Structure 1
Amino acid sequence: MTIELDPVMSWLVIIGLVIVLGAAFLIGRRTGVRRALKTARRYAHATNLSDAEADPATRYRAALIVNPTKTDVRRLSSTAEAICRFEGWSPPLVTETTPEDTGEGAAVRALDEGVDVVIAAGGDGTVRAVASALAGTSTPMGIVPLGTGNLLARNVEVVLDKTEWALRIALWGRNREIDVGTAKIAEDGDTHVFTVMTGLGFDAAVMADTNADLKSRLGWLAYVEAGSRKLAGKPSHVKVTFDDEYRILARVRSVLGGNCGKLQGGIQLLPQAVIDDGMLDVLIVSPKNLGQWVGVLASVLGRKASNGLHTDIRKCQKVVIEARDQLDIQLDGDPVGRSSYLEMAVMPSALTIRVPTVEQRKQIRAEAWPV
């Protein structure tokens, strides 16, 4: 028996197929063919099936990229696997960073595997490396903060001292799109990604001169010790150009640009910085002697919004700093060498990260940790 479709029904079928194929093409371009097929399988999966009945191929999967210098990788992997099993996820794809690949290459491979979230477990350097691969994609990044500063985690209120909760936030937290900064340390050089702050001068010299052993024993207080040894340096002559229009000439100790400004101890270095406003906040620090550093400290602790004592903050989308001398440069706290050139710009809403939901925040404040 032959079943005939009337012309209207035939056209509806054809249009439906075109829509499905078009959606698959767009998703495939964005996240890879494997991820597109996985997404289609997931939405086709019946919602009334239990985790035990679900096809493992349709379950969510996380990638966990771990800095082995910050934690016991085997223990963290076991914890992550147990939490994923409890939450109905497939076992995580676990990769360790190396001196040659600090996380970016591992994150790219995780994207090729079509994972649903990439979790950076380490310090700010690991987070920055993973973010470099995820920026511009729709795959979210989770954070298990294990470093000294953990600045991005602090600014988006990811829990710092409970690995289990950080993992759960990475799996089931709320997606939030944030801005990403880009930096070039040579006019024709490579472009680097940063998520928190990049600086030239005093702040970068402190990062470069911080004793690693002291840092492991004292944490962020090691930066204070290094900073005390750098206060007596001389200002540097720089030209700072904002958005290719406004230029200033100044003698400065440091120029720093950032998407967010919360440091350890609740200090707000960039008090008006917003992580998703599409702008960079640029801080110029210009004390001429040790006495004027007291004014700088008063401005920072007093959360001065724009012009403080020997400080100046401006908002822009791009800034270029040209120095007379070679100065230290840091990206999210990592020293990257010396240069007389630093260009920073912002990529609005370029990175999706997992942050606590309202319910998770309540449980965090109540210290209602899962067992």
Structure 2
Amino acid sequence: MTEPSNTSRRAAVVLNPIKPTTVDIRDLVSKISADEGWDEPLVLETTKEDPGHGMAQQALDEDVDLVIAAGGDGTVRCVAEELAGTNTPLGLLPLGTGNLLARNLDLDVDDPEGSVRVALTGTERRLDVVHVTVDRAMEAHVFLVMAGLGFDAAMMGDTRDDLKDKVGWLAYVDAGIRNLPGKPQRTKITIDGGKPIGRRLRSVMGGNCGKIMGGLEIFPGAKIDDGLLEIMTVAPHGTFGWLGVVAGLLRRGKGKDPSIEYFQCKSAVIETQVPQDIEIDGDYLGKGTHIAMRVEPNSLRVRMPYGKKDPAILTSPEP
């Protein structure tokens, strides 16, 4: 047990109550807070109408020292959207299916107690966030892991929640197979305000960090604190074109097959003639024809485990 500090500290927990878990999150965070010398936590549950924005803002208004996002990638994204640009750090208690940010930061997604202790006592880094506007909307979203237009977003939108509860990430495989058929769409990509690049594509994805399920590095070399955005285009050709896409991923984009292309930038604009499905950090947003992405470097404080980090994720691997 950590010796009590003379300085009072309090955490808030933004909890998605519908995420299945085998532990009582309220009791767990309360117990560990007491163990580590923190005050009784403020627990705020998300709702269908508000997936975390209002709760994170309430936590900021109450001047807590830390906000823990207890849920999936969607809950993390909503909380991060409110914390970005503030001095209040984000902690992660992964309860979702993908938990991609937690996996990239070496959190054990199957250890709720360990995650809470990391949130309260772990090391802290400043990470990039990427601001996204859809169809020139006035309000921007943010993402921490990735966003996409086309096939990957259609897959996210078509994933069955009941299947996710039963088989986890394999539900995405089911949705992916069902969405493999389809035609490439005329797409324009503008990198850092340069000359638009024309392509016929099934998908365009922007990445802030590289790894997805199974440790596959979908954005090779992407670092979450380097002030850069990775863009990946997917253009399978013919009946067996998706084999070329898989091969390109496994080669980390080093081959000459145009099925996969990579760009690195600080901002990007993606435009299509036909409305396409759009997702950010796994949240399906509907359809649109215009996405603008812009990196805001080192704007989010995040707690993570002590120890050497994967140099493919952070610019400085040392704790």
Shorter-chain TM range is over 0.9
The answer for the alignment partner of 1:67 in structure 2 is 16
Task: Give structure 1 regions of 4+ aligned residues with deviation exceeding 4 angstroms.
Answer: 305-309
1:330 aligns with 2:279: yes
Return the offset for 1:216: 1.2
Equivalent in 187, 190, 197 of residue 241 of structure 1? 190
Q: What SS does structure 2 have at the residue aligned with 1:107?
A: helix
Q: Which runs of 5+ in 1 are unaligned?
A: 1-49, 362-371
Alignment of 1:225-240 (within 5 A): 225-240=174-189
1:287 aligns with 2:275: no
1:276 paired to 2:249: no
- Paired residues of 1:298 and 1:309 also in contact (CA < 8 A): no
Matched to 1:353, the amino acid is V
Instruction: State yes or no: 1:259 paired with 2:259.
Output: no
2-side partners of 1:308 and 1:197: how far apart? 23
Q: 1:252 to 1:140 in 2, by over 3 A?
A: same
Deviation at 1:119, TM superposition (A): 0.2
Q: Which residue of 2 aligns with 1:176?
A: 125
**Aligned Cα root-mean-square deviation (Å):** 1.9
Unaligned runs of 5+ in 2: 311-319
3-state secondary structure, aligned to 2:199: strand
Give the structure, 1 or 2, with the largest relative contact order (CA under 8 Å, sep 6 or more): 2
Judge conservation of contact 1:232–1:289 (CA < 8 Å) in 2: no
Of 106-115 and 248-257, more deviation after overlay is shown by 106-115
Give the TM-score normalised by structure 1: 0.80
The separation in 2 between residues aligned to 1:190 and 1:314, in whole angstroms, is 26
Q: Which of 114, 124, 141 matches 2:63? A: 114
In structure 2, the CA distance between the partners of 1:305 and 1:59, relative to structure 1 (3 Å rule), is farther
Change in Cα spacing, 1:74 to 1:154, as seen in structure 2 (3 Å) is closer
Q: Is residue 258–residue 280 contact of structure 1 (8 Å, CA) maintained in 2?
A: yes
* Equivalence for 1:154: 103
1:287 and 1:257 mapped to 2: Cα distance? 18
220-229 or 129-138, larger mean C-alpha shift: 220-229
How far 1:261 moved relative to its partner?
1.5
Inter-CA distance 306–70: structure 2 relative to 1 (3 Å threshold) = farther
Conservation of the 8 A alpha-carbon contact between 2:106 and 2:309: no
- Does structure 1 conserve the Cα–Cα contact (< 8 Å) formed by 2:68 and 2:90? yes
Residue deviations 1:284-343 (CA, integer Å, cap 9, x gap):
111133311101001112322585551100001111111010100001011001001111
Q: Does 1:131 align with 2:80?
A: yes
Which has the larger helix fraction? 1
What is the deviation of 1:74?
A: 8.2
- What amino acid sits opposite 1:267 in the alignment? L
1:313 has 2:243 as partner: no
Task: Decide which moves more: 297-306 or 136-145.
Answer: 297-306
Give a deviation string over 1:93-145, Cα, whole Å, max 9, x none.
00100012111111111111111110000000000000000000111100000
Please state whether the residue corresponding to 1:207 is helix, strand or coil.
helix
TM-score, normalized by length of structure 2? 0.92
In structure 1, C-alpha distance between the alignment counterparts of 2:254 and 2:294, rounded to whole Å: 21
1:73-88 correspondence to structure 2 within 5 Å: 75-88=24-37
Equivalent-residue separation in structure 2 for 1:62 and 1:188 (angstroms): 33
Alpha carbons of structure 1 residues 306 and 244: separation in structure 2 relative to 1, 3 Å: farther
- Alpha-carbon distance between aligned partners in 2 of 1:240 and 1:313, rounded to the nearest angstrom: 12
Give the superposition deviation at 1:72: 5.6
The amino acid across from 2:63 in the alignment is: G
Distance 2:161 2:35 in 1: 38
After superposition, the C-alpha distances for 1:56-97 in whole angstroms (9 at most, x for unaligned) are xx3111001110011469811001111111111101000100
Contact 2:21 2:95 in 1 (8 A): no
